[in-house]
Amino acid sequence: MGGIVRATGSGMGCPDWPKCFGSWVPPTSVEQLPENYKESYAQYRDKKNQKFVRLLRSIGMTETADQISNDKTILVEADFNPVKTWIEYLNRIVGVVIGLLIVLLFVRSLKYRQSSPILFWLSLATLIAVIFQGWFGSIVVSTNLTQWTITVHMFLAMLIVAILVYLLHASAEERLNIPVASSLKWWLMVCAVLLLIQTFLGTQVREAIDRLASASRDTWISSLGAEFIIHRSFSWVLVIAHGYLLWKLYETSEAKTLTTTLMVLILASVLSGVGLAYGGVPPYLQPLHLTLATVTFGGQLYLFFGLNSRNKTVLVK
């Protein structure tokens, strides 16, 4: 959903938070808004940013705080557009549903506090992370989509995915338990770290594209610098690392399906990246490219938790 918000430029569809234009059901036409809506929401965000700037200063992030308080473009309010408003609102509704499901997860984990404390503590950690993510989403909006805040928002989402995948593994009645040599298990961890690095490099390309956003989409890629070349070339590292994993795990029938899926996901990420780069960054590929990277990360962790390097009876070397 976040990717769709981004691809359609709807991030500022609701200038306030958690309500949207002061209402739980957002407006559908500009007539429903007061005439001075731009000034009043700019003021609203300004107040919120000042609080955030104070918080940043108190934790020693003075430079970032200065950047936010000196950047006058942050307070420029976009024209009302009902489609963008409703896309952003739908994104928030999905966020609320996720939040409620995580509250439910936490409530259900209470009964395992004694028998399986890890389930309880990790469910609590997920709840705290999702509340923080909701609050941080409001900072993304109040700072008018300041680039680094989007990157932090995305990595937080990946952290939540990581904890949830572990909980899925740890709470399963029949856990995935594939015996392998420990070196292969750690190779898979290397693959996950490489993917996180590639994700970071991808966010740098996205940040650079955001700086060009006012120009036509066709010119975006040709105006990019080293961040694009590095991100594109780093794909080879991922393809080779996963190729090696697939080759090594191919004899293990249970791991074969999951590892092949990972390889297909990596290749699909590369292909969607090529489509973005050489097809003029079509909006429909932006959320797809992002989703493929996130699903691959979840899949890597799911396989990692399921590989058992302690059971020495059947070893894949």
- Closest contact distance (angstroms) between CB of 237 and ligand HEM is 9
- Closest contact distance (angstroms) between CB of 145 and ligand HEM is 11
Cα(229)–Cα(242) distance, rounded to whole angstroms? 21
Instruction: Give the footprint of ligand HEM on residues 122-151 (CB under 6 A).
Output: none
Among 76-84, 125-133, 196-204, 245-253, which window interacts with ligand HEM (CB under 6 A)? 196-204
Cα(170)–Cα(137) distance, rounded to whole angstroms? 29
Instruction: Give the footprint of ligand HEM on residues 253-282 (CB under 6 A).
Output: 266, 269-270, 273-274, 276-277
Q: Tokens 């929401």 — which residue? A: 41
* 31 Cβ neighbours under 8 A, 6+ residues apart: none
Q: What are phi and psi of 20, to 5 degrees?
A: -125, 115
| Among 293, 301, 303, 307, interactor with ligand HEM by CB under 6 A | 293
Cβ proximity to ligand HEM: between 16 and 210 the closer is 210
Q: Is 9 left (phi over 0), alpha (psi -120 to 50) or beta?
A: left
Among 74-82, 119-127, 157-165, 287-295, which window interacts with ligand HEM (CB under 6 A)? 287-295
Cα(21)–Cα(114) distance, rounded to whole angstroms? 45
CB 292 within 8 A of CB 271: no
Interface with ligand HEM includes 206 (CB under 6 A)? yes
Cβ proximity to ligand HEM: between 155 and 250 the closer is 155
Among 14-22, 59-67, 96-104, 195-203, which window interacts with ligand HEM (CB under 6 A)? 195-203
Q: What are phi and psi of 113, to 5 degrees?
A: -55, -40
| Among 286, 288, 300, 306, interactor with ligand HEM by CB under 6 A | 286
